[in-house]
Chain A
Amino acid sequence: MKFLVYSQINKSDVGAKLGRPEYSYYFVLEPFLPVLAKLGEVIVIHHPETEVDTLFDEYTQAGERCIFICFSPPNKSIIGLRCPTVTVFAWEFDRLPNEVWDDDPRNDWSYVLRQQGRAITLSSDSARVVRDALGDTFDVMAIPVPVYDRFAPMLGDRSARSPTLATRRFTFAGVAFDSGYYEITIDSFSNNTPANRFGLPLWNGQTIELDFSIGHAGAGSLGGFYEAEPWGTWSKLEQPWLIMPVLLHGKFSLHLDAVGYGPNIGRSIQVIVGNDRQSLLLDNNTSTRELVFNVEEPQALIHLAGLDISAIPGAADPRTMGIGMRSLRIESIDMASASHASTPASALTLELKGVVYTSVLNPGDDRKNWIDMLKAFCWTFRDIEDATLVLKMTHHSLGAFLGVFHYHMLRIGPVKCRVVLLHGYLDSEQFQQLINVSTYYVNSSRCEGLCLPLMEFMSSGVPAVAPCNTAMADYVTEDSVFVVRSSREPGIWPHDPRTLLRTLRYRIDWSSLAEQFKHSYVVATSDPSRYRQMSAAASAVQRDFCSEAVVTNKLRQFFRCE
């Protein structure tokens, strides 16, 4: 038996394509490989249009069964091949896309699946959705990604974890934003992170360009600003700042395309990088100014000072705008004056204590609903010091979340609990470390096709705070999870450019999420035996759902192997 397997993103480019839509399919395919290898020979395909049928003909000649398994959404799958093809896909909505747009018949998934004759989905819920579209007798099976065995060994000889509350450490080779270093008051928002605690790489001299209009990464670099608009972003506070994707150093020119507001037109403000400060005259039209800086100690932040944000009497717009940022460009003039060798950023060590809630998500994916999670966490633990929310942001760009994070932390105001954002690729050892230091996993998604991180944490005996909708209904139980209430609401198919309301997803009950944060904290800090019960239940439910043994059996059934 030959299995030809394919996913659009493969091992070599997965690091660079963090957060892109097809990104997660690699993480679906990869755990299936050893399981499929038990049932036949696995060949990884890179160019399905050319390779599959050639190999199919070859193997058929030699008397071998040959199947092509395509790990992708059906609209990106291949039809018309001689080789029998099965699409393995995740789907989190209530209705299968069955309309055609952009002249691509594959946008009607029922057409693709009918051509292929059978399908594998990752959840029972999506298998039901396929049957709703294609009839009860359509050959579709729900087969989850075999996650359990890789993560269960973390439990070791124990059958359950005890709640970890003592101080522990997590080492991470990436970038971290720790609310502990931010100082937030009603009028000010400052980031006092020492440059070497960000984990940002040292600047290699490559020109930096940031665009501050909506949808662009630059808008994510701002602190003390309003939300991005189509032309750029207005500042909100008297001393706003920008965070660079690298540590600036040496002699460089900063070109700033910005405009002044109200009394700031014709006003000279200060632009500060480390010890160097330059004056900038603001105009009433956006105009580009060039400033030259000489910075010895590497710096992550650019500060602005001297804005006049006093209210304008009778102004129609009550916001406290000072400067409007359009874009920025930084060009190196002389790196030789930097006294540091160009070394990669050293790993950061985070010290964590108390109850740690962790979530791994793509902040650019609206379905993840992480702002609700952030607000519910900060509201519940506003007076509690030993509660931490760790968000591992799976996206290639800081801009996808950092500005949004700053905007909401300013609205939330000073709280005693701690929020840490992590950015960068975690290898499997670091990922296991992250699981080890966590007390709970949190999910607040509007819908899930599967949610691998939730399954991985639960397999390791970490109980969760999560809703019980869509794919999560396959494994979220009251015994193992603090279940968050959610109820249906209309939604769009995310890849549908017409943005029509064609399906249903879920609306998370925010007060239930806050309530379950509280409940889980009480259990972790005062009811360790209940925690252990939940830990054991979490692992057991994942074993029954996605162990290699269970998944192998299902595949054997589906592919009708001996």
Chain B
Amino acid sequence: MGLADYSYYFVMQRFLPVLRRIGLVHQVRDPQREIEPLKVALKRFNIKPLLLSFAPPHKTPVVDCPTFPVFAWEYSSIPTESWGDDESNNWQFALSRTQGAITHSEFAVTATRAAMGNDFPLCSLPAPVWDAHAAQTPASLSDAEWVLQFSGVVMDSHELGLQNTHDIANPSLTRHEQRVALRGVVYAAVFNPSDGRKNWHDTLWAFCWAFRDNPSVTLLIKAVYHDAQFACEMLLTEMKKLAPYKCRVVVIHGFLDDDTYQTMTNGVTYIVNSSYGEGQCLPLMEFMSAGKPALAPDHSAMADYLRPDNAFIVRSWPEWTHWPHDPRLLLRTFRHRLDWQSLFDAYLESYEVATTQPQRYLAMSQAANLALQAHCSQQVITDGLKKFLKQLGFSTTAGGILSRPLQIYVRIAGRQIRRRVRRRKKK
């Protein structure tokens, strides 16, 4: 969890139901070995397969089969130079060997088009997450207590004593059965604390600064990372720097099954994001589908679905930076820096709305639900994919589709070991 290609696995999982509506889906482990025999077999039925590679363009396998990388990208330009001994680091080159590409935002389409030209087949299809999370009933603001039960690690600023001092004993971070009770206004944030692009410090700082004197508001942080100890220590270090504060910060780490995850998306009031850029931002999309308005900047992928009527939009500005996986660190692109004051103001305004303007909250909640339906329902994505493939000459009723499963690279003592994840897991 929390490794570089981790999120590709989850994106692929969410696309599978859509792909199955369109054609036959076969997950391929080793494209170089498996594709040729499959092509031969399918040819007998007059089926022309295509390969969807859920991975960044430089990891696209080169096989004799129409290939489409499905990739996320959150920067203003795609890499158009190579480094090391690998020419496919230059995505212009890597993509030129494919038949087109699918990405998850108009922002990424624009960046890719700038490098590939207007004739390169390209479309934006966000992961179809709406249906699994769509609110069945409109969100209501209630003060009732709700509970999260799971196996994992919890850090609760109230239990740690951070309302009184920054100088607390370090808690033991062992994994066991947890029962976390929440009530009142709850802000949720879901991120990998070791991913610098998430800029989560701003989310935490602005919350503690805005609600320093308010004991009845909570920030619920779901930490996504394979090492619970490491993740929690990073978060605890920051939690201490702002103490004392009366508001409650709860960090949870551990696997939530589908029902528990839904309890969480149903129970919180708002979802928060303060990142430098997003390829799509699954947590934001999931919570908004569940009818929770967002506090987030409207740059990169988020510009596709955030509106003033469904979110408290936070100001940001562009900053010169390097492509995140470019070891030369050369300044070639732009990311977005958050206006912290704007996030602080958004916390205060959103709290005001949640506690004194139920009508406005309801309207925002419904708007969030509707916006995400139009953005990423299975229906919308199915139609979009069908249209894209049809334009390229693929018949989607009788056609077959091969998709490559995500390979998760697990690092042990410097070596890379490929391990395929068997079970269907949610974050």
A positions within 8 Å CB-CB of B: 186, 236, 310-311, 313-314, 316, 318-320, 375-376, 379, 410-413, 487-490, 498-501, 507, 509-512
In the complex, chain A residues whose CB is within 8 Å of the CB of B205 = 489-490, 501
In the complex, chain B residues whose CB is within 8 Å of the CB of A487 = 315, 339-342
Give Cα A246–Cα B384 distance, bound, in whole angstroms: 66
- Shortest CB–CB separation between residue A172 and chain B, in angstroms? 30
A-B contact list, 22 entries, CB within 8 Å: A186-B81, A186-B330, A236-B328, A311-B85, A316-B415, A376-B320, A379-B331, A411-B329, A411-B330, A412-B331, A487-B315, A488-B341, A489-B202, A490-B209, A500-B166, A500-B240, A500-B241, A500-B242, A501-B242, A510-B318, A510-B337, A511-B317
Interface membership of chain B positions 310-344, coded 1 if the CB is closer than 8 angstroms to chain A and 0 otherwise: 00000101111010010111110000010111101
Give Cα A498–Cα B209 distance, bound, in whole angstroms: 18
B137 at the A interface (CB under 8 A)? no
Give Cα A413–Cα B331 distance, bound, in whole angstroms: 8
Asked whether, in the complex, the Cβ of B166 is within 8 Å of the Cβ of A512, the reply is no
- Shortest CB–CB separation between residue B347 and chain A, in angstroms? 13
- Shortest CB–CB separation between residue B224 and chain A, in angstroms? 22
Indicate the member of B81, B319, B416 with the most A CB atoms within 10 Å.
B319
Interface membership of chain B positions 284-318, coded 1 if the CB is closer than 8 angstroms to chain A and 0 otherwise: 00000000000000000000000000000001011
Supply 11 further A-B pairs (C-beta < 8 A) apart from A487-B342, A490-B242: A314-B415, A316-B415, A320-B328, A412-B331, A487-B341, A488-B344, A489-B202, A498-B166, A499-B241, A500-B243, A512-B317
B37 at the A interface (CB under 8 A)? no
In the complex, chain A residues whose CB is within 8 Å of the CB of B202 = 489
Asked whether, in the complex, the Cβ of B337 is within 8 Å of the Cβ of A507, the reply is yes
Q: How many A-B residue pairs have CB under 8 A?
A: 75
B414 at the A interface (CB under 8 A)? yes
- Shortest CB–CB separation between residue A106 and chain B, in angstroms? 21
Residue of A nearest to B330 (CB): A411
Residue of A nearest to B338 (CB): A507
Residue of A nearest to B332 (CB): A413
In the complex, chain B residues whose CB is within 8 Å of the CB of A318 = 84, 325, 327
Residue of A nearest to B89 (CB): A318
In the complex, chain B residues whose CB is within 8 Å of the CB of A509 = 317, 337, 339
Asked whether, in the complex, the Cβ of A379 is within 8 Å of the Cβ of B411, the reply is no
Interface size class of B (residues with CB under 8 A): 20 to 34
Asked whether, in the complex, the Cβ of A375 is within 8 Å of the Cβ of B320, the reply is yes
> SS class of chain B's interface: helix, strand, loop or mixed?
mixed
In the complex, chain A residues whose CB is within 8 Å of the CB of B415 = 314, 316
Instruction: Choose from A311, A313, A489 the contact partner of B341 (Cβ within 8 Å).
Output: A489
Give Cα A507–Cα B411 distance, bound, in whole angstroms: 37
Give Cα A411–Cα B321 distance, bound, in whole angstroms: 9
In the complex, chain A residues whose CB is within 8 Å of the CB of B242 = 490, 500-501
- Shortest CB–CB separation between residue A95 and chain B, in angstroms? 12
- Shortest CB–CB separation between residue A266 and chain B, in angstroms? 20
Instruction: Choose from B317, B322, B411 the contact partner of A510 (Cβ within 8 Å).
Output: B317
- Shortest CB–CB separation between residue B327 and chain A, in angstroms? 4
Asked whether, in the complex, the Cβ of B330 is within 8 Å of the Cβ of A507, the reply is no
Residue of B nearest to A379 (CB): B320
Give Cα A55–Cα B178 distance, bound, in whole angstroms: 70
Asked whether, in the complex, the Cβ of B331 is within 8 Å of the Cβ of A411, the reply is yes
Give Cα A498–Cα B205 distance, bound, in whole angstroms: 17
In the complex, chain B residues whose CB is within 8 Å of the CB of A310 = 85
In the complex, chain B residues whose CB is within 8 Å of the CB of A501 = 205, 241-242
Asked whether, in the complex, the Cβ of B85 is within 8 Å of the Cβ of A375, the reply is no
Asked whether, in the complex, the Cβ of A411 is within 8 Å of the Cβ of B85, the reply is no
Give Cα A412–Cα B85 distance, bound, in whole angstroms: 22
Known A311-B84, A318-B84, A490-B340: A511·B319 in contact at CB below 8 Å: yes
In the complex, chain A residues whose CB is within 8 Å of the CB of B84 = 311, 318
Residue of A nearest to B319 (CB): A510
Residue of B nearest to A490 (CB): B205
Known A314-B416, A318-B84, A488-B341: A510·B327 in contact at CB below 8 Å: no
Asked whether, in the complex, the Cβ of A320 is within 8 Å of the Cβ of B330, the reply is no
Give Cα A488–Cα B242 distance, bound, in whole angstroms: 16
Asked whether, in the complex, the Cβ of B328 is within 8 Å of the Cβ of A316, the reply is no
Give Cα A501–Cα B207 distance, bound, in whole angstroms: 13
Residue of A nearest to B328 (CB): A186
Asked whether, in the complex, the Cβ of A507 is within 8 Å of the Cβ of B329, the reply is no
- Shortest CB–CB separation between residue A115 and chain B, in angstroms? 26
Restricting to B184-219, which residues have a CB under 8 Å from any CB of A?
202, 205, 209
- Shortest CB–CB separation between residue A380 and chain B, in angstroms? 10
In the complex, chain B residues whose CB is within 8 Å of the CB of A413 = 330-331
Asked whether, in the complex, the Cβ of B320 is within 8 Å of the Cβ of A510, the reply is yes
- Shortest CB–CB separation between residue A252 and chain B, in angstroms? 34
- Shortest CB–CB separation between residue B188 and chain A, in angstroms? 22
Give Cα A320–Cα B327 distance, bound, in whole angstroms: 8
Residue of B nearest to A314 (CB): B416
Asked whether, in the complex, the Cβ of B322 is within 8 Å of the Cβ of A507, the reply is no
Residue of A nearest to B317 (CB): A511
Give Cα A236–Cα B329 distance, bound, in whole angstroms: 11
- Shortest CB–CB separation between residue B423 and chain A, in angstroms? 27
Asked whether, in the complex, the Cβ of B318 is within 8 Å of the Cβ of A511, the reply is yes
Residue of B nearest to A412 (CB): B331
- Shortest CB–CB separation between residue B8 and chain A, in angstroms? 19
Top 8 nearest A-B pairs (CB, nearest first) are: A487-B341, A318-B327, A311-B84, A489-B340, A511-B317, A488-B341, A510-B319, A316-B414
In the complex, chain A residues whose CB is within 8 Å of the CB of B166 = 498, 500
- Shortest CB–CB separation between residue B87 and chain A, in angstroms? 12
Instruction: Choose from B241, B315, B325, B331 the contact partner of A375 (Cβ within 8 Å).
Output: B331
